[in-house]
Each structure stands twice: as structure tokens, then as C-alpha cells.
Amino acid sequence: PAIIKREDYTPFGWVVPEVQIEFELGLELTRVVATLKVERNTAAERTPTIRLNGDGLTVRELQCDGETCEGYMMDGDDLVVTLPGDNHALRIVTEISPAANSQLMGLYASNGMLCTQCEAEGFRRITFFPDRPDVLSTYTVRMSGPKAQFPILLCNGNRTATGEQGENHWAEWHDPWPKPSYLFALVAGDLVARSDSFTTMNGRKVELNVWVRDGDLERTEHAMESLKRSMKWDEETFGREYDLDLFNIVAVSDFNMGAMENKGLNVFNTKYVLADPETATDGDYDGIEGVIGHEYFHNWSGNRITCRDWFQLSLKEGFTVLRDQLFSQDMGSAPVKRIEDVRVLRGVQFPEDSGPLAHPIRPDSYSEINNFYTATVYNKGAEVIRMMRTMAGEERFRAGTDLYFDRHDGEAATCEDFVKSIEDGAGLDLEQFRLWYSQAGTPKVTAKLDHSGETAKLTLKQHVPPTPGQDSKRPMPIPLKIALFDRASGTHRGEELVVLDKAEDTFAFDGFAEAPVLSINRTFSAPITIERSAPREDLVFLAAKDDDPFARYEAMQELMGGHLVAAVSGELGENERIAAQADIARAMGAVLVDESLDDLMRGELMTLPSQSYLAEQMLVADPTRIHEEREALKAFLGKELRDEFHALYDRAEKAPYSLDLASRGARKVKTLVLAFAAASDPAKAVELAAHQYDNADNMTDRQGALMVLTGIDSAERTGRLLDFYNRYEGNALVIDKWFSLQASSLHPNAIEHVKALREHPDFTLKNPNRVRSLYMAFAGTPHHFHSPDGEGYRMIADLILELDPINPQTAARFVPPLGRWRRIEPKRAAMMREQLERIAAAPKLSRDTFEQVTRSLG
Ligand code: B3K
Ligand code: ZN
């Protein structure tokens, strides 16, 4: 397959100011008549032809300026038409079969309804078109179909006319805002809406609808409230006002990702719309708020200003992730949200950045663009913009984003345009900072604090590790928030921002009669790893006293992580183990009783470093040993702090259900206590968890209890799993949880359970949520995926091979776990490679999976 390079960008030879499309809708067959007004692009080189992308389409009819046109040829899947003049109207007829579209790209059927997904290159599966983000057009769409089957007809923009014709009806929609084809959307089906309105800062009333299937309406309140909060927040925080009179959200159950920001018609995975206390966890509620916000914010960062080409994806995704993170911080607990975001970055993006699939946030080449919707482009992209915000301060950053929106409104822009706008608007010099866009890899910063006389000297060194295609790197500007604590008083004289922009630098701080305690990378001001040998007593100190909640969390993570890494390496003597465990128990004990903490934050401080984050800190990891040591620490703490845990549980159990932060916090610590009990006193854990399950009046408590029970062989396990299934049979999102809990449990036979669940009548490869609920949960659980006999690798490879012909985009998402082989102990590494090679050898692999497998074998 062809490799597409960023440096090869050239503007398209034509502009397409207007598009008209008629859809005659049917599940089996949909006829599409597209009329494109095309004009020569005076800013591009003159060409005798126009290339219209297609994917699996055939030309039924082609007219140019009203006459049948013979002057065309097919080049692969693309249609190349010879055009003599400077202005033409092309009329193209295609026919597609939505019901046969199992890839869920383009126009497809889901539960009897029709919907579209066009980003990145799905529009070319509907009609022939210059399917690239720098071709912006206004769309007028006429859709018609059987009224009984598709009572609701939706498209981008505003509905301008409707009518009936026998059994059929039709609607005409017009979107006044020029947009690239990837933002096109259409929905037809039997849907009902929760309707509301929002009045914008300039007094315009916007009609809001959340469309779902009949019966799901009661579960849309949170989505609607989240939408209204997003609209308000974007006005207040970024000065962005909505720009149409209508905003529609549609929930579909077959969807490749979370949601899609189509202009005025967002299409969502049901997972990010439907919630009520009985069926959705606190995490689900947060996910909905975050994704609704994210898609809404795209209206400006993505739609009004879009991307010039797909290499610029982080322009809209990195920025929009930052915007949704800041929104969620403002709506809930800011420190806890920050910790959650860092956990995702470390758990998913750091491994990506240190493996064979590493790429800069602005990649240089790709074969299949869908493979670049990654944690690097999204989450590291957000961190990079967050660093600019940290260096500029909130106010100047806002001046920068104002300038960006102003300067590039209506354009298809580049990351460089964004950086330049922040540079000019915020008054920052970002010359060297641009390296963050071109260099891959997580920088490692070594920090050393020396003290002599009255001076504390901080020496910082940075190293950016080599990544595929980038052997040597230049030093990047790394903004680090630091504070130096006085040991006796437990206070500091103010936070400082130091920017390390050399390979090595030293910063001196005067007036310290005694050696202070260093708190560094506060709020995780830079997406890097810090290496320092902080004495354990300093970590215990920071875990108890740091006034930056993130730094407190970090101190606990370092304290536990440092011990676990040492224990796994086998270098830990018995005395050292005892001393380290005692320090951890002391710090954890303080956390459990600290009255200044809210429970949401307490829960973060109680959370052990994840297996994947621990593995990331080792050159080559032995997943079994990591799991054993981690469980051993949980068991130790569970025993040592038994009374404190139970006191905490008893207090938390009294909190009545509500969605406020205190009540959520209580639920979080309860299930954490159960997890410690499971490791230290399984019989007691079963008793408590069964009780929590039986008395739960909400999904958070019920799922938390079942999670613990699923890991422990007992009659309670069997009984509650059965009860859960029977209770929620038919509710796909909850049955997904039932699959996930079993695939990610602590139960030693989980592999067998997954194999059995694969044969369950409710399992299907056609629904991405269901596939992920079983297999992503499994692949994300190291102690099962890395089973010493290689069975986990075989299962994932089997899945990839079976899923690839059905849904290549989802299949390719399962390759990265196997691609981690270089960082796993040699015996398993060989088995992982073997599976990658088996996949690579399969005939007719999709471009998606082929690219990921080849890069992973690299
Ligand atoms: N922009 C879409 C992602 C499309 C993914 C295509 N493979 C959702 C989002 O990031 O908001
Ligand atoms: Zn996005």
C-alpha cells in the first residue's frame, strides 16, 4: 500500500463551492445523486482532470454540464474526469448497500436505522468526491424514503422543506457553513427526541435534540444537561458561540468509536449518551459529560477551523481534548480529573511513545489514516497545548486562542498556524517549542537537588529517547512547576515555573538553611518522566503534606512504584522489603484518616500504580512478577490497615446515593476497600461484596461489588453473575459490562471464561462495543493477556484475523498490545512475534491491520 507523506502536500486543483445530494434511502439499496459545482483553484497548478475519490463504488451515471460524460476513467477506486473548462457541474449517480456495510464507515445500517460515519475517509464510500479536508463546500441535501421505516430524517444544518409522496416522505436540509466531506452526516430511522433549548450569549435561541430509540428517552437527561453546560462553558471560557439554530445528537449502538462531531448533527455511540443511576456508573456519567463536551467543542476547534490535511489531526484533536479536559475539571473535581487524565496518558500514550508505533503528535507519514487516531495525537497533543497555556498563563493563552479563531475562521489550517497564533496572541517565543510537534518519544528528565550553605541547587538533565525513524533528538523546552518544602513547617514559599530548554541546566535557590524537599512537575506540567532518587521519607512527607493534590498523588505512586519495581527486579533484600512496606503503610494509613481530603481524592491516593505503568518503568517486564508483587502489596496493606479500611467503608456506606462529589467519592472508596480486602481476606471480601451487590441502588456500587466477586471463586460469584445477567438482559450497554468484568477479573481461569463468552449467544463480532467489552478488557489485563503459555496472544491474533474482513478499523486496534514484545521478557516476546507474523502472513489483510502489524514487527 502507498505511503502518504506530509511533505508531499499540494493544494487540490479544484474548489467545490456547492454540493447537492439526493438520497433515495433503503437499507438494502440507497441511490445517491450528487451534483458538484466545480471551479478551478487558481492557487493550485492547472490540471486537465479532476480526481474524485471512491471506495468500492461504481459509476452508474455521469454527466458534465447536463450532458452524458464519457471522458472519464477509473484509477483504482478513484474516478478521474477530464474537464476542459474552468467551471463545471458534475452529476454523479452511485448505488450503495448500507445493510452490507459491516465496516461502519460511510452509510450503514444499525438496528433498522441508517446513519453515516465519514471521518476520515468514509464519504468516498457514499459518492465520488475530493474526500480531503481542505475542500470546503456548502451542502444541500434532499433525502427520501419509506415513512414507516424512517419517520425521522436528519442531516447537517437546518431543515428547509419537507413533503410526502404516497408511502414515502422527504426532507430537504441546508448547511450554510462550508465544510469538508468528513463532517457530512445523515440519519434516518425510527427515533424519539428529548428536546430543549439554549439561548446563546447574543440571545439566539438554539433548538437542542437528543435522538434515541423509543424506550431510551429516560436515559438522556444527563446527556442533555451536559450539552447545555458545554455550550455555556465554551462561551465563558473561550468566547465561542454556537452558530446554527439547531443542534442534534443521535445515539447509535453500532459505532466504531466514541462519537463524531458532524456539523449540527453529532452522531454518538449509545455508551456516551444513555445513563441513569440504575444502569450507568459514575465513570459512565463522567464519560458522557466529557464526550458530549468534546464533540460540541469541535464546532469551533475542528469544524469552523478544520485541518488542511490529516497530518494536522492534532490541530483539532489535541486542542479539543484539552478543551474537554478543562471543561470536566471545571464541572467536577479539578485535581481528580487531572490525575485521571495523567493516568490515561501514562497507561496508553507512554507505551505507544516507547514502542514500535511511536510517532510525533504531527506524524510525517501514514498508509491508513485511521491508525493515527491515537493517544499520541489526542492526549499528548492536548498536553503539548497545555504546556503552552502553562507558560503563557490563562489570560495570555486566551488571547492566543482568540487570535487563532479570528485569524483562521473558515479555513483548513495547520498545526503551524495554531502555534503561530498562540505565539503572536500570547506573546510567547515558541521557536524551539515546535520540536514537540516533530519529535516523538517521552522525554526523560533526571532531577538532582544538592544543598550547601544556604543554597539549594537543582540540576536537571533531559534525554529524549530514539523512536522509529528518529535516532537522535534535540533538547526541547520542558516547563516544570516546582516547589521547595521546608521540612519543619511543611510549607513552601511559592511555586515556581522553571523551563528546562537545554540538555542540562542548573537552577539555584537561596535562603535554605536546611535541605528542602523537592516537589517537581506539579500538576504534571510536562508530559515527561522524572527520574530522581528521592529518599522514601521525602515521599512520605510529600504524600502527606504537598499542597498540590497531583504532587501528593505522585508521591504515593512513586513510593509504591519504587518499591514494586525493586521487588520485581529481585534485588530487594528482606529487610528492605519490610522497611519499604512499613513506609507505604504509614503513608496509606495517613491517607485513610486525613480529614482534609475529600473521598474522591482519597481514592486516588489509595490507588496502586497500574501494571502497565509499572511495566513501562522497566526495560523488559515480566508481567507475572509484576502482578504477583502488586497483589502482595495490596494484601499487605489490606492486613496492616484492616481496621482503618473497615472504618472508612462503614462511614462511606452511610452516604445516600446522589451525583454530587461527596457521594461519588464515598462509592469510590468503598469499592477500593473491597479490592484491598479481596487480596488480604477473600472470605471477608466476598461477604462484603455480596452485601454491597444485593443492597446496591446504583450501578457504581453494583458493578464495583461484582468486579470484586468475579475475581474470587465462590458461590456468591456464580450467583451474582447470573443475577446481573438476568436483571439487565436486553440492555446492551450493561451486558457489555458483564462481559468486561469477566474478561478483566482477577480470577485465575479468566482465559477459559473469555473463550466460553466468545460462544455466548449475546456475543457478536458485528458490534464494536461488544467486541471491545470482551477482548479490549482482556487485552488490557496484563496477567491474562500475558499468560505464560502464550494463549492470550493466540486469542487476540485469532480475533484480529476473524474481525479484519468485517471491521478492519476495529481489528487494527488490537494490534498494539502484541506490538509491545520488545519490552517483554524474551520467552513471551518470541510468542508475541510469532502471532504478529501469523497475522502478517494472512492473505488479503486490510490496509489498517497490515500497517499496524508491519510497523509492530519493524
Ligand atoms: N473526530 C472523531 C474521530 C473519528 C475517528 C475516525 N477513525 C471523534 C472525535 O475525536 O471527536
Ligand atoms: Zn475529537
Same domain for 561 and 628 = yes
What is the pairing mode between strands 205-212 and 246-252? parallel
Is 375 contained in some domain? no
> Does residue 832 have its Cβ closer than 6 Å to ligand 1?
no
Return d(Cα 533, Cα 641) in angstroms, integer: 27
Mean pLDDT of 833-848: 98
Q: What is the pLDDT of residues 300-335, one digit of tens each?
A: 999 999 999 999 999 999 999 999 999 999 999 999
Same domain for 104 and 29 = yes
Give CA separation, 290 vs 331, 351, 354, 685, in Å: 10, 24, 27, 33
Same domain for 507 and 543 = no
Residue 790 CB neighbour total at 10 angstroms:
17
Mutate which of 119, 252, 269, 320 to test ligand 1's pocket (most atoms within 8 Å of Cβ)?
A: 119
Same domain for 494 and 598 = no
At 44, is the pLDDT very low, low, confident or very high (cuts 50, 70, 90)?
very high
Please tell me the predicted confidence (pLDDT) of residue 231. 99
Is 280 contained in some domain? no
Helix (H) or strand (E) holding 143: strand 137-146
Can you list the positions of beta strands (E) in 180-321? 186-189, 192-199, 205-212, 246-252, 259-260, 265-269, 306-307
At 645, is the pLDDT very low, low, confident or very high (cuts 50, 70, 90)?
very high
Same domain for 544 and 484 = no
Whether the CB-CB separation of 200 and 263 falls below 8 Å is answered with no
Please tell me the predicted confidence (pLDDT) of residue 402. 99
Burial class (CB in 10 A: 0-12, 13-18, 19+), 121: buried
Is 550 contained in some domain? yes
What percentage of the chain has pLDDT greater than the value 90? 100
> Does residue 309 have its Cβ closer than 6 Å to ligand 1?
no
Q: Which residues pair with 117 in a beta bridge?
A: 106
At 40, is the pLDDT very low, low, confident or very high (cuts 50, 70, 90)?
very high
Phi, psi of 439, rounded to the nearest 5 degrees: -100, 130
Is 615 contained in some domain? yes
Same domain for 464 and 581 = no
Q: How many domains does the chain have?
A: 4
Same domain for 55 and 168 = yes
Last residue of one domain, picked from the residues 680, 699, 716 = 680
> Does residue 257 have its Cβ closer than 6 Å to ligand 1?
yes
Is 282 contained in some domain? no
Give buried/exposed letters for 467-482 (b at 16+ CB in 10 A, else e): beebeebebbbbbbbb
Same domain for 781 and 736 = yes
Q: What is the pLDDT of residues 573-625, one digit of tens each?
A: 999 999 999 999 999 999 999 999 999 999 999 999 999 999 999 999 999 99
Whether the CB-CB separation of 132 and 12 falls below 8 Å is answered with yes
Give CA separation, 150 vs 3, 172, 248, in Å: 41, 15, 17
> Does residue 324 have its Cβ closer than 6 Å to ligand 1?
no
Q: What is the pLDDT of residues 69-123, one digit of tens each?
A: 999 999 999 999 999 999 999 999 999 999 999 999 999 999 999 999 999 999 9
Q: What is the pLDDT of residues 661-693, one digit of tens each?
A: 999 999 999 999 999 999 999 999 999 999 999
Same domain for 748 and 848 = yes
Phi and psi based region of residue 441 (left: phi greater than 0; alpha: psi -120 to 50; beta: remaining): left
Return d(Cα 722, Cα 707) in angstroms, integer: 13
Q: Atom 9, ligand 1: which residue's CA is nearest?
A: 260
> Does residue 119 have its Cβ closer than 6 Å to ligand 1?
yes
By C-alpha distance, which of 670, 692, 737 is closest to 279? 737
Same domain for 597 and 466 = no
Cell numbers standing for residue 698: 446504583
> Does residue 317 have its Cβ closer than 6 Å to ligand 1?
yes
Please tell me the predicted confidence (pLDDT) of residue 1. 86
The rounded Å distance from CA 302 to ligand 1 centre is 10
Please tell me the predicted confidence (pLDDT) of residue 503. 98
Q: Tell me what ipTM this predicted complex has.
A: 0.99
Last residue of one domain, picked from the residues 533, 562, 593 = 533
The rounded Å distance from CA 284 to ligand 2 centre is 18
Q: What is the pLDDT of residues 372-430, one digit of tens each?
A: 999 999 999 999 999 999 999 999 999 999 999 999 999 999 999 999 999 999 999 99
Q: Atom 1, ligand 1: which residue's CA is nearest?
A: 260
Cell numbers standing for residue 367: 498508509
What is the pairing mode between strands 168-179 and 158-165? antiparallel
The rounded Å distance from CA 304 to ligand 2 centre is 14
Is 204 contained in some domain? no
Residue 533 pLDDT > 90, yes or no?
no
Mean pLDDT of 699-703: 99
Cis peptide bond prior to 392, omega within 30° of 0: no
Q: What is the pLDDT of residues 218-263, one digit of tens each?
A: 999 999 999 999 999 999 999 999 999 999 999 999 999 999 999 9
Is 750 contained in some domain? yes
Return d(Cα 814, Cα 828) in angstroms, integer: 17
CATH of the domain at 134: 2.60.40.1730
Distance between start and end Cα atoms, the chain: 16
Return d(Cα 230, Cα 239) in angstroms, integer: 12
The whole domain housing 669 covers 534-680
Same domain for 26 and 141 = yes
Whether the CB-CB separation of 279 and 733 falls below 8 Å is answered with yes
Mutate which of 104, 184, 261 to test ligand 1's pocket (most atoms within 8 Å of Cβ)?
A: 261
Last residue of one domain, picked from the residues 533, 567, 598 = 533
Same domain for 553 and 500 = no
Residue 638 CB neighbour total at 10 angstroms:
20
Q: Which residues are catalytic?
A: 295
Global pTM value: 0.99
CATH of the domain at 792: 1.25.50.10
Return d(Cα 543, Cα 556) in angstroms, integer: 6
Is 708 contained in some domain? no
Amino acid at 656: P
Q: Atom 8, ligand 1: which residue's CA is nearest?
A: 260
Q: Would you call 241 helix, strand, or coil by DSSP?
A: coil
Whether the CB-CB separation of 300 and 409 falls below 8 Å is answered with no
User: Measured at the alpha carbon of residue 786, what is the angle toward residues 781 and 787, in degrees to the nearest 5?
Assistant: 110
What is the pairing mode between strands 365-366 and 4-5? antiparallel
CATH of the domain at 488: 2.60.40.1840
Q: Atom 5, ligand 1: which residue's CA is nearest?
A: 119
